[in-house]
Structure 1
Amino acid sequence: MPGPILHIGATVMCSHGGQALPTAPSPRVLVSGMPITTIAVPYTVAGCAFAPPVGNGPCVTAQWVVGAVQVISEGQPVAILTGTAVCAPTGTPLLPVMAQMRVIAS
């Protein structure tokens, strides 16, 4: 499914409200003047509010598992707003909230 390409300035959160940021954006491609991210790049999550008394929280990292099919950067599919990412250790999804809307990838 096509979607806007995620870049370093995109707002991405875990399901519990933590802020997710890419660890190493792809500097070869810029959108809105900022580097994009690919699905190979892990995200770090800070401020996750999920703190069960026993179990698998809070969210610490996340990894994209579904991104663009036809658009790649540095040999990897680009991360898109409509893609899918999973947080660790909780297994909950990342929620891209806001991204640039000019460049769409499918």
Structure 2
Amino acid sequence: MGALLNTSSTLQCPHGGQVQVMSSNTRAKAGGSFLVRASDTFTIAGCVFAPGGVPHPCMSVKWVSTALRGTVLGDALLTMDSVGLCLAADNAPQGTVLILSTQQRASGT
């Protein structure tokens, strides 16, 4: 069981870009912040990925593995065990999101 992600969780792309979460969840909280769902908006700022010297930064996250049981407002929650792909503007996958920290009070599978 992994700790549930909330809007205060710290996430990064593999190239050091910071993931910013915009959640529409206004009902369920853990650790003082709203829980994060797979359908929320995840944008990435500050990615420095530049293969061959050509900038191709990560821009968003698409979640491919979520909590199996937990939902809020009908959508799957995310945990420390969830897997998200960092995508460029052209939707090219550029690695998995790094989940660096989250609250530790609530967990799910």
TM-score (norm 1): 0.90
Gaps of 5+ in 2: none
SS of 2:100's equivalent in the other structure is: strand
Matches within 5 A, 1:20-59: 20-52=19-51, 53-54=53-54, 57-59=56-58
Matches within 5 A, 1:61-76: 61-76=60-75
Is residue 94 from structure 1 mapped to residue 97 from structure 2 by the alignment?
yes
SS of 2:99's equivalent in the other structure is: strand
> Percent same amino acid among aligned pairs?
27
Is the Cα–Cα contact under 8 Å of residues 14 and 59 in structure 1 kept in the other structure?
yes
- AA paired with 1:100? Q
Is the Cα–Cα contact under 8 Å of residues 3 and 103 in structure 2 kept in the other structure?
yes
Is the Cα–Cα contact under 8 Å of residues 25 and 36 in structure 1 kept in the other structure?
no
Q: Which runs of 4+ in 1 moved over 3 A?
A: none
Q: How many residues align?
A: 104
Is the Cα–Cα contact under 8 Å of residues 42 and 63 in structure 1 kept in the other structure?
no
Is the Cα–Cα contact under 8 Å of residues 62 and 86 in structure 1 kept in the other structure?
yes
Deviation for aligned residue 1:54: 3.9
CA RMSD of aligned residues (A): 1.4
Aligned counterparts of 1:51 and 1:23: Cα–Cα separation in 2: 26
TM-score (norm 2): 0.88
Gaps of 5+ in 1: none
In structure 2, the residue matched to 1:60 is: 59
Per-residue CA deviation, residues 84-105 of structure 1 (Å, 9 max, x unaligned), is 0011124111110000111011
